[in-house]
Amino acid sequence: MLDQIHKGGCACGKVRFEARGAPYRVGLCYCLTCRKAHGAPFNFFACFPSDAVTVEGEVLLFRSSDRGERYACAACGSQIYSRYGRPDEIYLYPGSFDETGLLQPTYELWTIRREAWLPEVASIRSRYERNRPHWKRTEP
């Protein structure tokens, strides 16, 4: 995956993105903001270097917190990417890639809000009750 280009986009096709190489980390978040923003019990995300991602098309910005910026297609409303206070990182949503099965999460955030009926994810190696206690670029 290091030298590959993976493409994706929104539901209507007016916003497209390309991600080059491997992400820094891939995870699941069960926090209330992610649940509400995605209309789902969790957010599945992949954090890439900003310079490895290009986005084309009109997006709308929703500031979900003092650091959180979420971008959606201006036409269909599909979530495209987000940023969380680090200009060198961009979060894409694996469900938006054209190809399925590219990425597997290795950690979970905000497990105190995880639905009890959700099955365990075999690829998860780290679980955090809330946010990760210490920031680091990668996650096992």
CB proximity list for 75: less than 8 A, separation 6 or greater: 10, 12, 14, 15, 58
Mean pLDDT of all residues in 90-113: 96
pTM confidence score:
0.93
* pLDDT above 80: residue 3: no
What is the dotted CATH code of the domain comprising 5-127? Answer: 3.90.1590.10
Mean pLDDT of all residues in 121-135: 94
* pLDDT at position 136: 87
* pLDDT at position 2: 60
- Annotated domain spans of the chain: 5-127
Mean pLDDT of all residues in 70-95: 96
Nearest to 45 by CA among 105, 109, 99, 93: 93
